[in-house]
Structure 1
Amino acid sequence: MTLFDSLTDVLNPDVVTRIADYIDEPVDKTRKAVNGLVYTITGGLMKRTTTEIGVNQLFNHIQKGRYDGSLLDNLTTVLREPAQTNTLITQGNDVISHLLPAMKSSIGSMISTYAGIRNSSAISLLGLTTTIVLHMLGRRVKDQKLDADTLASSLFAERDALVNAVPEEFMPRLVEKVGLQQVMAGVAAPARRSVVESAANSSRSYSEPVRQPISYESADDSDNDAGSLAKWGIGGLLVVALMAVGYYVYQNTQKHNNDNEPTTDVSPVTSNTVQSDTVARSLAVPADSAARTAPKSASAVVTPATPTATASSAGGSLTQQLTPYVSNPALPKGRIFPLTGVAFQPGSLSLTAGSQATINELATLLKANPALQIQLIGYANDASGALTNKSLSFKRVNQIKQQLMASGIDFVRIDAIGRGSGVSKRDTSGVAKPTLRKIDMKVVAK
Structure 2
Amino acid sequence: MNLFANLTNVLNSEVLSRIAAYIDEPFEKTSKAVDGLVYTIVGGLMKRTTSEIGVNQLYNHIQKGRYDGLSLDNLPTVLRDPAQTNTLITQGNDVISHLLPAMKSSIGSMISSYAGIRNSSAISLLGLTTTIVLQVLGKQVKDQKLDADGLATSLFSEREAFVSIVPEEFMPRLVEKVGLHQVVAGLATPARRAVVESPGRTVVTATRPAINYDLGDDSETDNGALTKWGVGALIALALAFGGYYLYQNTQKYSDGTEEATDVTTVTSDTIQADTVTRSLAVPKEQAVKTAPKSTSAISASALSATGLAGAAASGSLTQQLAPYLGNAALPKGRTLPLTGIAFQPGSLSMTPGSQATVNELATLLKTYPQMQVLLVGFANDAPGGVLTNKALSFKRVNTIKQQLVSSGINFMRIDAIGRGTGIAKGDTSRVPKPAMRKIILKVVSK
Q: 1:12 to 1:153 in 2, by over 3 A?
A: same
* CA shift digits 1:351-379 (9 cap, x unpaired): 34432332343345456666654321112
Q: What amino acid is aligned across from residue 36 of structure 1 in structure 2? A: G
Q: In 1, are the aligned partners of 2:298 and 2:323 still within 8 Å (CA)? A: no
Give the gaps of 5 or more residues in structure 1. Answer: 202-283
Q: Percentage identity across aligned positions? A: 72
Q: 1:107 to 1:287 in 2, by over 3 A?
A: same
* CA shift digits 1:10-67 (9 cap, x unpaired): 1122222222232232222221111011011111111222222222221111010011
Q: Quick one: distance in 2 between partners of 1:18 and 1:323?
A: 58
Q: Quick one: distance in 2 between partners of 1:5 and 1:423?
A: 27
Q: What amino acid is aligned across from residue 286 of structure 1 in structure 2? A: T
Q: Quick one: distance in 2 between partners of 1:52 and 1:123?
A: 28
User: Which structure 2 residues correspond to residues 313-328 of structure 1 after superposition, within 5 A?
Assistant: 313=312, 316-322=315-321
Alignment match, 2:75: 75
User: Which structure 2 residues correspond to residues 38-57 of structure 1 after superposition, within 5 A?
Assistant: 38-57=38-57
Alignment match, 2:234: none
Alignment match, 1:286: 265
Q: In 1, are the aligned partners of 2:266 and 2:445 still within 8 Å (CA)? A: no
Q: Quick one: distance in 2 between partners of 1:358 and 1:377?
A: 16
2:62 maps to 1:62:
yes
User: Which structure 2 residues correspond to residues 223-238 of structure 1 after superposition, within 5 A?
Assistant: none
Alignment match, 1:22: 22
Structure 2 SS opposite 1:146: coil
Q: 1:296 to 1:136 in 2, by over 3 A?
A: farther
Q: Quick one: distance in 2 between partners of 1:106 and 1:314?
A: 47
Q: In 1, are the aligned partners of 2:51 and 2:190 still within 8 Å (CA)? A: yes
Q: Quick one: distance in 2 between partners of 1:60 and 1:21?
A: 33
Q: 1:188 to 1:326 in 2, by over 3 A?
A: closer
Greater Cα shift, 138-147 or 176-185? 176-185
Q: In 1, are the aligned partners of 2:92 and 2:131 still within 8 Å (CA)? A: yes
Alignment match, 2:137: 137
Q: In 1, are the aligned partners of 2:58 and 2:99 still within 8 Å (CA)? A: yes
- Once the two structures are TM-superposed, the CA of residue 320 in structure 1 deviates from its matched residue by 3.7
- Indicate the structure (1 or 2) with the bigger Cα radius of gyration: 1
Give the gaps of 5 or more residues in structure 2. Answer: 205-262, 271-293
Q: Quick one: distance in 1 between partners of 2:2 and 2:38?
A: 13
Q: 1:310 to 1:400 in 2, by over 3 A?
A: farther
Q: Quick one: distance in 2 between partners of 1:427 and 1:336?
A: 24
* CA shift digits 1:322-373 (9 cap, x unpaired): 4566678998865541101112344444434432332343345456666654
User: Which structure 2 residues correspond to residues 373-388 of structure 1 after superposition, within 5 A?
Assistant: 373-384=372-383, 387-388=387-388
Instruction: Report the number of matched residues.
Output: 358
User: Which structure 2 residues correspond to residues 323-362 of structure 1 after superposition, within 5 A?
Assistant: 336-362=335-361
Greater Cα shift, 27-36 or 10-19? 10-19
User: Which structure 2 residues correspond to residues 381-400 of structure 1 after superposition, within 5 A?
Assistant: 381-384=380-383, 387-400=387-400
Q: 1:98 to 1:320 in 2, by over 3 A?
A: same
Q: 1:372 to 1:51 in 2, by over 3 A?
A: closer
Q: Quick one: distance in 2 between partners of 1:89 and 1:29?
A: 19
Q: In 2, are the aligned partners of 1:93 and 1:130 still within 8 Å (CA)? A: yes
Q: In 1, are the aligned partners of 2:185 and 2:401 still within 8 Å (CA)? A: no
Q: What amino acid is aligned across from residue 374 of structure 1 in structure 2? A: V
Alignment match, 1:420: 420
Alignment match, 2:249: none
Q: In 2, are the aligned partners of 1:312 and 1:357 still within 8 Å (CA)? A: no
- Once the two structures are TM-superposed, the CA of residue 394 in structure 1 deviates from its matched residue by 1.4
Q: What amino acid is aligned across from residue 287 of structure 1 in structure 2? A: V
- Once the two structures are TM-superposed, the CA of residue 2 in structure 1 deviates from its matched residue by 2.3
The two structures have a TM-score, normalised by structure 1, of 0.69
User: Which structure 2 residues correspond to residues 57-206 of structure 1 after superposition, within 5 A?
Assistant: 57-195=57-195
Q: 1:285 to 1:435 in 2, by over 3 A?
A: closer
Alignment match, 1:231: none
- Once the two structures are TM-superposed, the CA of residue 81 in structure 1 deviates from its matched residue by 1.9
- Once the two structures are TM-superposed, the CA of residue 305 in structure 1 deviates from its matched residue by 7.6
Q: What amino acid is aligned across from residue 14 of structure 1 in structure 2? A: E
Structure 2 SS opposite 1:376: strand
- Once the two structures are TM-superposed, the CA of residue 131 in structure 1 deviates from its matched residue by 0.5
Q: In 2, are the aligned partners of 1:176 and 1:412 still within 8 Å (CA)? A: no
Q: In 2, are the aligned partners of 1:300 and 1:368 still within 8 Å (CA)? A: no
Q: Quick one: distance in 2 between partners of 1:30 and 1:333?
A: 38
Greater Cα shift, 362-371 or 184-193? 362-371
Q: Quick one: distance in 2 between partners of 1:135 and 1:195?
A: 28
- Once the two structures are TM-superposed, the CA of residue 413 in structure 1 deviates from its matched residue by 4.1
Q: In 1, are the aligned partners of 2:297 and 2:327 still within 8 Å (CA)? A: no
Alignment match, 2:310: 311
Q: In 1, are the aligned partners of 2:306 and 2:367 still within 8 Å (CA)? A: no
Q: 1:196 to 1:103 in 2, by over 3 A?
A: farther
Q: Quick one: distance in 1 between partners of 2:305 and 2:403?
A: 18
* CA shift digits 1:233-275 (9 cap, x unpaired): xxxxxxxxxxxxxxxxxxxxxxxxxxxxxxxxxxxxxxxxxxx
Q: What amino acid is aligned across from residue 266 of structure 2 in structure 1? A: A
